[in-house]
Amino acid sequence: MTTTVTAPDPVRIAPAEPPPVVRVRGLQMSYGAQQVLRGIDFTITRGQIVALLGPNGAGKSTTIEILEGFRLRSAGEVSVLGVDPARGDEAWRARLGIVLQSWRDHGKWRVRELLCHFGSFYRPYATDGVTRPWDVDELLAAVGLTEQADKPIAALSGGQRRRLDIAVGIVGRPEVLFLDEPTVGFDPQARQEFHELLRTLADARMTILLTTHDLHEAEKLADQVLILTGGRIAARGTVAELARQFGGEAEVTWTSGGRTHSARTADASTFVRQLIQGGGEVEDLRVHRTGLEEIYLSMVAGEEAKR
Amino acid sequence: MNVTGNAVRQGLSRGGTELRQVLSNGQDLGSNLVWLIGLLAPIYFLRDNMLAGTDVSVAAFVLPSLLSMCIGFNGLLNLAQQLVVEREDGTLLRLKALPHGMVSYLIGKVLLVAGMVLVAWVAVLGTGALLVDGLHLGEAGRWLTLLWLLPLGLLAMLPLGAVFGSLIESPRSIGLVMLPVFALATISGIFHPIAGFPTWLQVVAQVFPLYWLGLAARSALLPESALAAEIGESWRHWETVAALGGWAVLGMLAAPVVLRLMARRESGSTMAARRDRALSRRAA
């Protein structure tokens, strides 16, 4: 094949919409007669953190395993980093990070030893811009395992093991990171540190998709939340958008002249401003917006009732 | 950097690490060698019994045959068991998530098993040198036979171990392979020459690789006078190479297909399901 070097076409390199990192269209999955995914669509752009939220059995793990290339879909279009995961080769795999649910593998290996070993698999995939693998000491510090570096993995606590799982997932500096229930078994502080770590990674342009059934986690972490129930995406958007979309109204309560008043409004700020500018006595003012939790629970309950 | 070269290098480093882990842990080493000690013990009691029609002792006949058992046990049973256990505990899935991880995993396992066979051989040959008279351990040409026997034996056995390891679903079912292998050992002339067996049993034994491994090991260590106890009174090297080579080719054709099918099934949720089953077993 011959290649001719020409001056870049100014029209073609104009900053168009960047191609999405993950693109899913009409994804369906059946195990025999049982349909687990009934046609889902979503798109993730570079540097986004997306939470796939849903009750157990909603199809979260199935979705993520299809994207990882570990499971073949029944129908629909899927692309991850521009490649169909069903046909992804090893070079494509090298750009992926996968945090699996932990179990008891590699118990005799030491923490640093295992990270060095796994990191070495990514060495041929280093580029001018990206050093691969991640420096192991830096990585240990980032996940808070410096003190455990020389311990056998079997001797780690559950939370420490989970941090190691995450370190294994990012040792190759992936462009896209998949995490299946990453914070199971974390105490609140570990959870907080984990959220900060994911934020840092996303700031460095890593694209992150995680599954969780913890609403607060999705709320705190995700740029985009996809609520999956019964194999369909029941709702999507930022947490604020979801609250607006489904919560709709906020309830404003106040006391005036010893009496308690309450009103429902879609635009709480305007309502409150007008209330105060009205000049009357307004005390003990409270605004309660329907939380995502209530929306989520009612959505899940609705889906359960349909079964 | 060369991608394939790196995968091979990581596999070797993996095998080296695992071998060190086994050798530096008394319990692991013990559980790997305990069966061997059980088989070596009778050698001491059989050292004065002579093999009928020859001038070698029963001990001298059994000792080299045990070398073939080492390859059979480690190559087939040990490899199969590791595949089953490491599929359940998530090791395999972890490697599957890495670029070229599965290739490295297999290379590591081959190195580990080969290392374990060598350790077992040292134990067997050491016992022979100390306790058994009539072995020709001092001649270089004899060692040459062992030198080709080891890789050829591994080539014949390892793919079989990989196939069994892929087909067995639970670590508790590993006994399903253990029993037939023991049965095979008893008819394959490890403990007793098969020349006196009924013809049909001889034919069955000669279909499988264990007999040929034992024959080759005996040819390496025993004097010509021991030939009287063998079928056709010959070491049959060419037949040995053909039989073991045939098994190797067959295994190499089947193993990648079976391994690939097995690996393809692995995912986070299949492993989670297996973990749940294992935990409920433990609770029960």
pLDDT of res. B96: 93
**Closest residue to A101, CB basis, from B7, B96, B272:** B272
- Calculate mean pLDDT across residues A206-229: 90
Say whether pLDDT at A100 is over 90.
no
**Given phi > 0 = left and psi -120 to 50 = alpha, else beta, which region is A210?**
beta
ipTM: 0.88
CB contacts under 8 A, B 103-162 vs A, are 104
Helix, strand, coil percentages in chain B from 3-state DSSP, rounded to 5? 80, 0, 20
A106/B94 CB distance under 8 A: yes
Q: What percent of chain A has pLDDT over 70?
A: 90
- Shortest Cα distance from A290 to chain B (angstroms)? 35
Region of poorest pLDDT, from A6-10, A213-217, B114-118, B224-228: A6-10
B266 three-state secondary structure:
coil
**Helix/strand/coil for A13:** coil
Question: Are A108 and B14 within 8 A, CB to CB?
Answer: no
Higher per-residue confidence, A43 vs B141: A43
Q: Chain A residue closest to B16 (CA)?
A: A117
Structure tokens at B14: 């993996």
Map tokens 């050093």 to a residue: A131
Residue B284 has pLDDT above 60, yes or no: no
Question: Which position has the higher pLDDT, B43 or B86?
Answer: B86
What gap in Å lies between CA A207 and CA A220, rounded to an integer? Answer: 16
Query: Measured between CB atoms, does B17 come within 8 Å of chain A?
Result: yes
Please name the residue of chain B whose CA is at the shortest distance from the CA of residue A95. Answer: B99
Q: What token pair was written down for B25?
A: 């842990």
Other C-beta atoms closer than 10 Å to the C-beta of B179 total: 9
A44 vs A59, A223, B58, CA distance in Å? 18, 10, 73
Predicted pLDDT of residue A92: 96
pTM to 2 decimal places:
0.85
Q: What is the distance between the alpha carbons of residues B278 and B284, in angstroms, rounded to a whole number?
A: 10
Average pLDDT for chain B: 88
Q: Residue B270 — very low, low, confident or very high, per pLDDT cuts 50/70/90?
A: confident
Mutation choice for A interface testing from B98, B261, B274 by most A CBs within 10 A: B98
**Pairing assessment for the beta strands A232-237 and A283-289 based on DSSP bridges:** unpaired
Kindly tell me if the per-residue pLDDT of A2 is higher than 50: no
Q: Do A120 and B10 touch (CB under 8 A)?
A: yes
- CB of A100 within 8 Å of a chain B CB? The answer is yes
Cβ-Cβ contacts under 8 Å, A117 against chain B? 10, 13-14, 17
- Secondary structure E strands in chain A: 22-31, 34-44, 49-53, 75-80, 96-99, 176-180, 207-212, 224-229, 232-237, 250-256, 259-265, 283-289
Q: Which whole number is the average pLDDT over A167-175?
A: 96
Per-residue pLDDT tens for B58-96? 889 999 989 999 998 889 999 999 999 999 888 999 999
